[in-house]
Amino acid sequence: MRAQTMAYFDQLIPSGMLLAKEAKEQGRNIVGYYCVFSPIELIEAAGAIPVGLCATKQEPIAEAEKVLPRNLCPLVKSSYGFAVSGKCPFFHFSDLVLAETTCDGKKKMYELLAEHKPMIVLDIPNSSNFEDNQEHWIKQVYRAKAYFEKNLGTEITEEKLADVIKIYNEERKLLMELVSLNKQHPTPISGTDLLKVMWGRSFQFKRDEFTAKVKELIAELKDMAARGESASQVSSKRILVTGCPTGVGQEKVMRIIEESGGAIVLQESCSGIKAFVDLVSEEMDPFEALADKYSKTPCSCVSPNKRRLELLSRLVEEYRIDGVVDITLQACHTYNIESYSVKEHLKKKHNLPLLQVETDYSDADSQQIKLRVDAFLEML
Amino acid sequence: MKWSIGIDIGSVSTKGVLYNGQVWHSEVISTGWSPSQAGKEVLERLLLTHGLTRDQIQIVVGTGYGRIQEGMFDKTFSEITCHARGSSYLLPEACGFIDIGGQDSKVVALAKTGKVRDFVLNDKCAAGTGRFLQVTAQTMGLEVSQLSDLAREANSVAINSMCAVFAESEVIGLLAQGISKSCIIAGLLQSIAKRIGVMAGKLNFQGCIIFCGGVAQNQVLKGLLSKEIGCKLFVPPKPQSIGALGAAILGYDLIKEEE
Ligand code: SF4
Ligand code: SF4
């Protein structure tokens, strides 16, 4: 059974396009961003609208490959292709872009993208144990603040930022409340539906409307659970998905897992809970609080990335996970290499198996993925 | 008496096994252009040869790439699970199996219980598959079945290309240098053994491994693989039919469970 409120979330991306157009017509500024490292509260506090640009479709990749090498992560190629081909309305309507020095593919792609849009690239330290990590991050947050103030002609005050932080934190708590409904068995909401909500968040600019709908969804799911309705079966194995971002449009692997009878309980990746699981401190100075939260993003681009293992440990226990599927994109070295550490960690600490599925945005490998997924589910 | 049938529809051949908890019988036909037709045919042959009717079969289990034929099977399992069940039935102490087929290769580790513990598949490129051998054998004007005998006593020459397309031109180059076919074949088999050895290395095998699939008939390759992995390899009778056997046994397990 599927909650009726999901119809709203099905429409988030197309209606977001209209919202973006309207916002431009009303003279509002839009700032695009690509990554969960982006301190987007700054954009909102500057009175502009943050919108996600991370791309998930195969279609613009051919265009991108006119410039970029083939042997590159499809997320990078798709994002670049969408931007330069003019086919992504969100990129088109963006006045500025906020980017970061994460993986090599993205870094170098941003150099090329900078020809098409004014952009600021925050410098993110590669080492998680770099002594000056915190100071460095604080400087970057102030750099972004100055950039937005200058280019958007506004001032980002401490009060405004503190307000936005509060609103965003409330939203994070709410989304985690939604996800935690899936601690139940069988799960009330499917993994692909959860993805729609979480991924869709960055395309809905009316924060009140979005949170109201999430509340409605939570209430409906609770009712459904009380009536004994669920999104999976009692016999379904409980799967956690981790790895590279796999947004709406790129649900291939998740769909195969669900069609084969697995219950995706939650996604740890950037298309899942990674941005929402930790709050920004409301006690600290708001600029430093942003630096503190975002510097701790458990992404494979930083080294070592112990936080991801810690987070996974917590999640597999709390959500009573039977098996983990690590979706990695071709040519994403950091996640592909880290897959080994994650697998060893889960085996040693939790006696849990991990299936790594390396894939891209095309559908060519669906059959092969299905074999792996079936075999994995059967062995659990 | 209760009977179950397992049918493994592969891209090249379709295998069927009839099982009653004690003995098993198998049939193999080529898949041809219609997987569902091949599935039906193998089923009918099994029934005919053993004087049974469809009603006497409690369950028909499908596996292989053709398992997704709507309405044909009572239950399906992936070929990995089926090969695992078949392997541990034939050799309970097996710690895994290696299946080198025409299009892909599978290296699977089994837990003590006989269940799948972990697996590594190569189905993206021809390296380390029967296809690799076929392409290179053709280049030399040979059949795959001749390779083992020719390579038996030969010193292998190093083949560096893993990719079937490049290996083909490498082979042509070696022939032009006057290197004997035997040495080249030995080199090709060595290269497959290396490739499979790397896959096996990820799974920490300790104990005896079942070697199945079309290429398992190749004695020289078996020896090379065993050296590469450091484990004893065991080629079962009818190595092609292990998946169908596993499917039939899994089906039989289900009948027993229901009772
Ligand atoms: S995986 Fe890392 S680089 Fe990619 S969006 Fe997430 S935080 Fe950013
Ligand atoms: S998936 Fe990997 S390679 Fe691709 S953008 Fe993210 S970190 Fe970079």
ipTM, 2 decimals? 0.88
Contact A302 CB / ligand 2 (< 6 Å): no
| Chain A CB contacts of B79 below 8 Å | 371, 375
Q: Of the candidates A243, A331, A302, which has an alpha carbon nearest to the alpha carbon of residue A37?
A: A302
Report d(CA A219, CA A259) in Å as an integer.
Answer: 26
Residue B149: band (very low, low, confident or very high) from pLDDT cuts 50, 70, 90: confident
Q: Which residue's C-alpha comes closest to atom 3 of ligand 2?
A: A332
Flag whether pLDDT at A160 surpasses 90.
yes
Residue identified by tokens 């198998």 is B26
Q: Which atom of ligand 1 is nearest to the CA of A335?
A: 1
3-state DSSP of B181-206:
HHHHHHHHHHHHHHHHHHHHHCCCCC
Instruction: Name which residue sits closest to atom 8 of ligand 1, judged by CA.
Output: A35
What does the block give as tokens for A155? 């001032």
Amino acid letter, residue A165: I
Measured distance CA(A120)–CA(A48) in Å, rounded: 15
pLDDT at residue B162 greater than cutoff 80 = no
Give the nearest chain A residue to B121 (CA atoms).
Answer: A372
Indicate the pTM of the whole model: 0.93
Nearest CA to ligand 2 atom 7: A103
Rounded mean pLDDT, A295-315: 97
Distance CA A379, CA A366 (A): 20
- Gap from A355 CA to chain B (nearest CA, Å): 8
Q: Give me the pLDDT at residue B154, please.
A: 80
Rounded to a whole number of angstroms, the distance from the CA of A227 to the nearest CA of chain B is: 29
Out of B81, B123, B124, closest to residue A375 by CB? B81
C-beta of residue A346 within 8 angstroms of C-beta of residue B44: no
Q: What is the average pLDDT across A60-84?
A: 96
Pairwise CB contact (< 8 Å): B123 & A371: yes
* pLDDT level of residue B198 (50, 70, 90 thresholds): very high
Is the distance from the beta carbon of residue A198 to the nearest atom of ligand 2 less than 6 Å? no
Amino acid in the structure at residue B221: L
Mean pLDDT over residues A372-378, rounded? 97
Tokens 């006119």 belong to A66
Closest partner residue to A375 (CB to CB) among B80, B123, B124 is B80
Q: Report residue B236: phi and psi, to 5°.
A: -75, 165
Q: How many Å apart are CA B250 and CA B253, to the nearest integer?
A: 5
What is the per-residue pLDDT for A10?
Answer: 96
Rounded Cα gap, residues A304 and B103, in angstroms: 39
Q: What is the pLDDT of residue A379?
A: 95
Convert chain B into a string of H (helix), E (strand) and C (coil): CCEEEEEEECCCEEEEEEECCCCEEEEEEECCCCHHHHHHHHHHHHHHHCCCCHHHEEEEEEECHHHHCCCCCCEECCHHHHHHHHHHHHCCCCCEEEEECCCCEEEEEECCCCCEEEEEEECCCCCCCHHHHHHHHHHCCCCHHHHHHHHCCCCCCCCCCCCHHHHHHHHHHHHHCCCCHHHHHHHHHHHHHHHHHHHHHCCCCCCCEEEECHHHHCHHHHHHHHHHHCCCEECCCCHHHHHHHHHHHHHHHHHHHHC
- pLDDT of residue B150 exceeding 90, the answer is no
- Backbone angle region of A228, left / alpha / beta, with phi > 0 → left and psi within -120 to 50 → alpha: left
Higher pLDDT, B167 or A360: A360
State how far residue A371 is from chain B, nearest Cα, in angstroms: 6
Q: What is the mean pLDDT of residues A237-259?
A: 96
Crossing angle between the packed helical segments B181-201 and B164-176, to the nearest 10 degrees: 150
Q: Between B81, B117, B123, which is nearest A378 by CB?
A: B81
C-alpha count within 13 angstroms, C-beta hemisphere, residue A44: 20
Which residue from B minimizes the CA distance to A358?
Answer: B124
Token readout for A26 is: 């009303």
At B125 the pLDDT is 73
Could you tell me the pLDDT band of residue B203, with boundaries at 50, 70 and 90? very high
**Cα–Cα distance measured from residue A274 to residue A175, given in angstroms and rounded to the nearest whole number:** 11
Helices A286-295 & A133-152 angle (0-180, nearest 10):
120
The pLDDT of residue B55 is 94
Percentage of residues of chain B with pLDDT beyond 90: 59
DSSP-H helix ranges across A296-365: 306-318, 333-350
Separation of alpha carbons A258 and A26, rounded Å: 42
Please indicate whether residue A301, judged by its CB atom, sits closer than 6 Å to ligand 2: yes
Instruction: Round to whole Å and give the CA distance between A302 and A312.
Output: 16
Q: What is the pLDDT of residue B170?
A: 86
What tokens appear for A214 in the block? 């999430």
CB neighbourhood size of A191 (10 A):
27
Q: What is the mean pLDDT of residues B39-63?
A: 96
Cα torsion A306, A311, A317, A320 to 10°: value is -120
Average pLDDT in the A96-119 region? 97
pLDDT at A23 over 90: yes
Q: Which residues of B touch A (CB under 8 A)?
A: 65, 77-81, 115-119, 121, 123-124
Element of type H or E holding A354: strand A354-359
Q: Is B78 in contact with A371 (Cβ distance < 8 A)?
A: yes
Tell me, what DSSP letter sits at residue A326? E
Q: Are A31 and A53 in contact (CB under 8 A)?
A: no
How far does the CA of residue A348 sit from the closest CA of chain B (Å)? 14
| H/E stretch holding A329 | strand A323-329
Looking up tokens 């299936």 gives A355
Model confidence at A74: pLDDT above 90 = yes
Which residues of chain A does B119 touch, with a Cβ-Cβ cutoff of 8 Å? Answer: 372, 375
**Cα of A328 from ligand 1 centre, angstroms:** 12
A240: CA distance to ligand 2 center in Å?
20
The domains located in chain B, with CATH, are 1-91+240-259 (3.30.420.40), 93-235 (3.30.420.40)
What is the structure's pLDDT at A117? 97
Test the A interface: residue of B11, B68, B118 with most A CBs within 10 Å: B118
Give the torsion sign (CA, A61, A63, A64, A70): positive
Q: What is the pLDDT of residue A149?
A: 98
Tokens of A194: 């959860």
Chain B residues whose beta carbon lies within 8 Å of the beta carbon of residue A367: 65
Looking at residues A266-288, what average pLDDT do you find? Answer: 97
CA of A57 to the centre of ligand 2 (A): 14
Using the beta-carbon criterion (under 8 Å), do B117 and A379 form an inter-chain contact? yes
CB contact under 8 A, A378 and B77: yes
Ligand 1 pocket residue status of A91, Cβ below 6 Å: no
Q: Among residues of chain A, what percentage have pLDDT more than 70?
A: 100
